[in-house]
Amino acid sequence: MVQTKLFSEKDLPSQIINVASVPQLSPFRYPGGKTWFVPQFRNWIFSHEYQPDILLEPFAGGGIISLTAIHENLAGKAVMVEKDPDVAAVWHTILSDDATWLTQKILNFDLTLENVRKVIEKKSSTTKEKAFQTILKNRTFHGGILAHGSGLLKNGEKGKGVKSRWYPETLAKRISTIQKFRERISFIEGDAFDEIPKYLHDPRCSIFIDPPYTAGGKRAGKRLYNYHKLDHTRLFELCTSATGLFLMTYDNTQEIKEMASKKDFLYKEIPMKNTHHAKMTELIVGKKTDPLFLVNQDIL
């Protein structure tokens, strides 16, 4: 773990950073991914007086927040938690010595429709094989959706079909980059509700919570994620016990605003663009003592 450091004004970004400048570190193209949120996440971390010793990401998914935190030295270490065994297989492999096998498998794979089908229809016997199968699905399925019922791209980008999002050299480079700082990332295959309580009483732990869907979005959650059922009321209740700071991101719904208000949390709308580049807003939710909210005057 790196030594905890004190943040000062000189650490603050001089301006809002364009999303296009965010380093693409994750091997996933993930529905609901948070690459667009990275500049806001940086602002949140820099609003801390001290660098967090631990960043906990209990719904890791594509992991861009944890990867950014460690790559940019915004936290001492990251703890990523993911329940989906297919996604977990990827992180187990990338953060182990099997990452070399995975990169070679990606680089040497002859991507044809027939070969893709052979791989995804085969039952994987090892974690690293499941990891390759998952990355292949993620890169050849519609929207990167891994949920049951999703299927292979037909036309894809510029008529390239399943090859539309298959960039083997790029994927290999991202995996190699993660390998360089893997010692500062702990990965847990498990349930967020089992892991969050272990960190609630650590004041130097900051928690970034990005649930798979909101209480008002069950249909979308079922379509996008295999593990979409979530007790949001319990999640909010857990956060009331957090000694350190936490930041939650949610779809902008009245239901979530009411849940936040009941727990005496602050919330704020922030702009975003979805995968179709439509302008939308999401909510961020946090403590009343969170400096990110205290320095902004447009809290709802």
* 299 pLDDT above the threshold of 80: no
Quick: pLDDT tens for 247-258: 999 988 999 999
Average pLDDT over residues 203-224: 69
Nearest CA among 141, 118, 124 for reference residue 90: 124
Nearest CA among 43, 36, 97 for reference residue 72: 43
Place of tokens 């990332």: 185
3-state secondary structure (DSSP) of residue 57? strand
Q: What is the predicted pLDDT for the residue at 27?
A: 95
> What does each C-alpha distance from 68 to 26, 38, 76, 91 come to in angstroms?
9, 8, 12, 15
3-state secondary structure (DSSP) of residue 18? coil
Nearest CA among 181, 197, 225, 163 for reference residue 31: 225
Q: Which two tokens stand for residue 128?
A: 């690293």
Q: What is the predicted pLDDT for the residue at 94?
A: 98
Percent of the chain with pLDDT over 90: 60
Average pLDDT over residues 14-33: 68
Q: Which two tokens stand for residue 119?
A: 């791989």
3-state secondary structure (DSSP) of residue 114? helix
CA 100/CA 207 separation, integer angstroms: 31
CA 208/CA 175 separation, integer angstroms: 23
* Largest distance between two CA atoms of the chain: 56
| Averaged pLDDT score across all residues of the chain | 83
Reported as type and span, the H/E element at residue 250 is strand 246-251
* 32 pLDDT above the threshold of 80: no
8 Å CB contact between 106 and 172: yes
Quick: pLDDT tens for 43-78: 999 998 889 999 999 999 999 999 999 999 999 999
DSSP 8-state code for residue 184: G
Q: What is the predicted pLDDT for the residue at 67?
A: 97
pTM for this predicted structure = 0.84
**Parallel/antiparallel/unpaired status of strands 279-286 and 77-82:** unpaired
Handedness of CA 59, 63, 69, 73 (dihedral sign): positive
Q: Which two tokens stand for residue 150?
A: 């999703």
CA 78/CA 182 separation, integer angstroms: 10
Q: Which two tokens stand for residue 120?
A: 């995804």
Quick: pLDDT tens for 267-289: 999 887 554 455 678 899 999 99
Q: What is the predicted pLDDT for the residue at 145?
A: 64
Q: Where are the alpha helices (DSSP H) in 213-270?
A: 218-224, 232-239, 254-262
Place of tokens 């970034």: 208
CA 269/CA 258 separation, integer angstroms: 14
Quick: pLDDT tens for 101-133: 999 999 999 999 899 999 988 988 899 999 999
Percent of the chain with pLDDT over 70: 76
Quick: pLDDT tens for 144-183: 566 555 666 565 455 556 787 899 999 999 999 999 999 9
Quickly list DSSP for 87-111.
HHHHHHHHTSTTHHHHHHHHHH---
* 223 pLDDT above the threshold of 80: no
CA 2/CA 77 separation, integer angstroms: 8
